[in-house]
Amino acid sequence: MISLRCLLRAYGKCTALLSLPSQQPLNRIMSTSCRPMVAVCQVTATPDKKTNFSACKQLVEEAKERGASMVFLPEAFDYIGSSREETLSLSESLAGDTMSRYTQLARKLEVWLSLGGFHERGPNWESDRRIYNSHVIINDKGDIVSVYRKSHLFDVELPEKGVSLKESAFTIPGPTLVSPVKTPIGKVGLGICYDLRFPELSQALQRDGAHILTYPSAFTVATGAAHWEVLLRARAIETQCYVLAAAQVGRHHEKRASYGHALAVDPWGEVLGDCGGEKPGLVLVEIDLEKISSTRRNMPVQEHRRDTGFYYSLDST
C-alpha cells in the first residue's frame, strides 16, 4: 500500500484540497483538482523481475486511482542484479517481455509512464554482452514515445564510504541527449541518476523547452545522505523547472542498498513531496505550469545568462 505519510505531505501543499471535507474518499478529492497530477514512486527492486513488476504495477494502479496522469518509476525498476553476470543475463531488448508488460499496463490504465532505467541490450549484444541504461517514456496508448540512454556512467570508488561501483564495466554510454517529451503534464526532460551531477545536462534540457526534469535514481546510501536533496533542489533552482526524482530504497540483496527519499521539487526549489528512506511508496504532486512562468518572470535568470563563449573565456587565457 502507498505510504500515507508520503501522500499527506504532498497534499499539505494544496490548500484547495485541504478545504474539502475530510471524510471524502481520496480519489474523489484528487478529481477536484484542475491541474495535472503526477506520482513519483520509490521501490525496492531485487533480481526477481516478476516480483518487481507486481510491486510497480500496484503503485501505478494506486497512482491512477488517485488521479495521476503520469507515473514515474526509478532507475532499475525492472531489477537490480547481485552480480555483473546476473545483471547481464536478466537484460532484455525494448521488444522483450518486460517492456511489453508496461506498454500493456499504460494502455489499460490510460496513464503515461516514465520508466527510469531499463537494462536494454546494446546493438552488439551477441558479440560484446554490453547494455544501455535506458529511460523509456510510454504514452497512455501504450506507445514508446522516447528513449534516453544514460550518458554519464557511475564509476566511483569511495573506500571510506563503502561505495564501489563501475557501471562502465558492462554499460554503454548513451550517444546523445533527447529533446524534452511533450506530455499531459508539460515538456519532460530526461536524465538518469548520475546525470544529476552534471548541470550542463539540465541547462541544455531547459533551453530546449523543458518544464520538468526527471532523474530516476538508485543512489547509494552514502552519496544519497550527502548529496541527493541538495543536488535535486539545485537543479530545480538553476533551471526554474520542476524536478521529479523517483528512487530505489532499502536493501536489494546482500551486496547493495539504496537511499530512497524519492522527491518532487518545485521551480523555486521547495520540496513538495518526500517518500522517506525506509520503504516503497509514492508522492502525488500537482504540476502548475503557471508557477514555472511566474518564477521565470519574477527572477529572469535565463535572460541574464551570457553567451556560451563567455563562460569558456578562461579556457583561452
Active-site residues, by number, are 75, 150, 193
Beta strands in 79-125 (DSSP E): 112-121
Residue 269 region by backbone torsions, left for phi larger than 0, else alpha for psi between -120 and 50, else beta: left
> Cα(156)–Cα(224) distance, rounded to whole angstroms?
14
Coil, strand or helix at 270:
coil
Q: In sequence order, what are the residues at sequence separation of 6 or more whose Cβ sits closer than 8 angstroms to the Cβ of residue 196?
A: 215, 217, 231, 232, 235, 245
Which of helix, strand or coil describes residue 122? coil
Burial class (CB in 10 A: 0-12, 13-18, 19+), 86: middle
Q: How far apart are CA 261 and CA 136, in angstroms?
A: 22
Q: Is 98 helix (H, G, I), strand (E, B) or coil?
A: helix
Residue corresponding to grid cell 520542476: 242
And the C-alpha cell for 21?
Answer: 471535507
Q: Which residues pair with 259 in a beta bridge?
A: 249
How many other CB atoms are there within 10 angstroms of residue 165's CB atom?
A: 17
Q: Which residue has the cell 546493438?
A: 123
According to DSSP, the residues that pair with 44 across neighbouring strands are none
